[in-house]
Chains A and B, each alone.
Chain A
Amino acid sequence: MRDIAIEVNDLSIHYRGLQSYSIKQHLLRFRPNKTEVFEAVKHISFQVEKGQIIGLVGKNGSGKSTLLNAIAGIFAPDTGSIDLRGNTVSLLSIGVGFQRELSGRENIRLSGMLLGFSEEEIKAKTPEIIKFAGLGQFIDMPVRTYSSGMHSKLAFSITAILETDIILVDEVLSVGDVKFKKKSYQKMKELISDDERTVVIVSHTPSTLLELCDRIIWLHDGEIKMEGPAEEVMDAYLEYME
């Protein structure tokens, strides 16, 4: 058996009591407001081996994105733990976080630094990113002037070219125009075929998942309903959704 890259143990994440409140509201209301607990992910445990490609399926609101965010270190687990064994991780999703006032080039530099790359590495890869994103002269314009397609193209290029050990993909395979879609799909496949790279994909497109993934985890209302080889789980899932 190969090394484990992601180990998730008894993970739960809830959204509770964390709504923001205002002082005004607090002063005007006498009884404390009841907080509803919403468990987005309920006691999930699984492991991903290094180099594996995992698909996550489930209907909307079943906790897929929450799980991805938790693996990326953005959400704190309420119980349980996530162990990445020291691998670098990046989250690829629609509309990656850019600072709107800064130019595309500067955003590449800053995003790269936040992903844990040294400035030399980023400098070396910047031309490749710019070329792949294909934004032309827009690369030196503030990101706020970008169209949403350009936005996602740049976001995809940064994460795809600056290769982290673990890549988390949240419905990103449908980015940009037809040409870029093809190119990014190709790049995605290339990245994924690397034996060292671990990938977790969230998608609603069965064909993509079947083609790319080794294994699929089906999440239902925050719990793992089924886990196994891609075809098996996909068939059961599609049947259920009918």
Chain B
Amino acid sequence: MVKRFIKDVKKYYRYIFVSAKAELKAEVANSYLNWLWWILEPFCMMLIYTFIFGYVFNAREDYFPAFIFLGLAMWNFFSHTLTNSVKIVKNNKAVVSKVYIPKYVLILKKMCVNGFKMALSMLIVAGLMIVYRVPLSWNILYVIPLMLIQILFVFGFCTFFLHFGVFVEDLSNVVNIGLRLGLYLTGIMYSIESRVKGMAGYLLARLNPMAFFISSMRNAVLYGGTPSWKWMLAWTLFSLILIYIGVRLIYKNENSYVKVI
């Protein structure tokens, strides 16, 4: 199975990039402010959150706008890819009912689209860091492994939702509720470690992979901290197992999807 997966990824990676690019282009072509929206939307969200949580709820973190923006960028990558995955086979009915394509290729394509938007947001974070004169340290290099682990995790996680999304019609309602809960539990607008005291905070920031990625990333980028190697390794392994099971599930069932949609 691993061999087949590698072979398929090799065969389809050009398709993934080309179709992701085409989708981004189409998105641009259809709106007035076109690509500005990719920056404007998260930027406005950041303003809202900064205002509400910074001033109304008094959540004080250093470099608060950058803190929020970084978390928001990573969370959006996760949540958008997840919401897309649930309906992805149905939304690509035109394609999947005409030609064979490994269905997880559709997730990878969405990840490229959402990843590109995340990268744009990251540029803004960099801009904010310059404005706030955040001192840089070599720990910023941890961005690379953290991003990679996050990508593995999101892919593995979404394969399951692709599969069950085909058979369970109202899965998207459940996912929306779950994502809202996740948004608050993950500490996008506050720091879990400084707000939730004791063991609960410690576990909340580590057992929730997105919370772990986001808080490690903030630590490395904004505050010059080192993420925990132990947990990074654990989440890498966990993600690889998720991918293995998820991709196998898809391979086993994908040709029945078309009969349902």
In the assembly, what is the distance between CA of A142 and CA of B23, in Å? 11
B residues with a Cβ closer than 8 A to A are: 14-15, 18-19, 22-23, 25-27, 29-30, 92-101, 166-171, 174, 254-256, 258-261
CB <8 Å contact, B168 and A22: yes
For B93, B97, B98, which residue has the most chain A Cβ atoms within 10 angstroms? B98
Q: What B residues does A75 contact at CB under 8 A?
A: 255-256, 258-259
Chain A residues whose CB sits within 8 angstroms of the CB of B95 once the complex forms: 97, 99, 114
Q: List 12 A-B contacts (CB under 8 A).
A: A19-B260, A73-B100, A74-B99, A75-B259, A97-B92, A99-B22, A102-B23, A102-B25, A103-B26, A110-B19, A113-B15, A114-B15
User: Could you tell me the distance in whole angstroms from the C-beta of A140 to the nearest C-beta in chain B?
Assistant: 10
**Given A18-B259, A20-B168, A119-B14; A96-B98 close (CB under 8 Å):** yes
Min CB distance A55 to B, Å, is: 21
Contact between chains at B168 and A99 (CB < 8 Å): no
Interface: A227 (CB within 8 A): no
User: Which A residues lie within 8 Å of B30 (CB)?
Assistant: 101, 142
Contact B101 A114 (CB under 8 A): yes
Report if A178 contacts B (CB, 8 A). Answer: no
Known contacts A74-B97, A75-B258, A97-B96, A23 near B14 by CB under 8 Å: no
- Interface size of A by CB at 8 A reads 35
CA distance A69 to B30 in the complex (A): 34
- Given the interface pairs A97-B99, A102-B23, the reply to whether A76 lies near B256 with Cβ below 8 Å is yes
- Chain A nearest Cβ from B97, distance in angstroms: 6
Question: Contact: B260 with A18, CB < 8 Å?
Answer: yes
* Residue A223 at the chain B interface, CB threshold 8 Å: no
Chain A: CB-nearest residue to B94: A97
CB proximity to B under 8 Å, residues A41-92? 69, 72-76, 90-91
Within the assembled complex, what's the spacing in Å between the Cα atoms of A95 and B95? 11
Chain A residues near B255: list those with CB within 8 A.
Answer: 73-76
B-chain residues with CB within 8 Å of residue A23 when the two chains form the complex: 168, 170-171, 174
Q: Is A106 part of the contact surface with B, judged by Cβ < 8 Å? A: yes
Asked if A93 is at the interface of the complex by the 8 Å CB criterion, the answer is yes
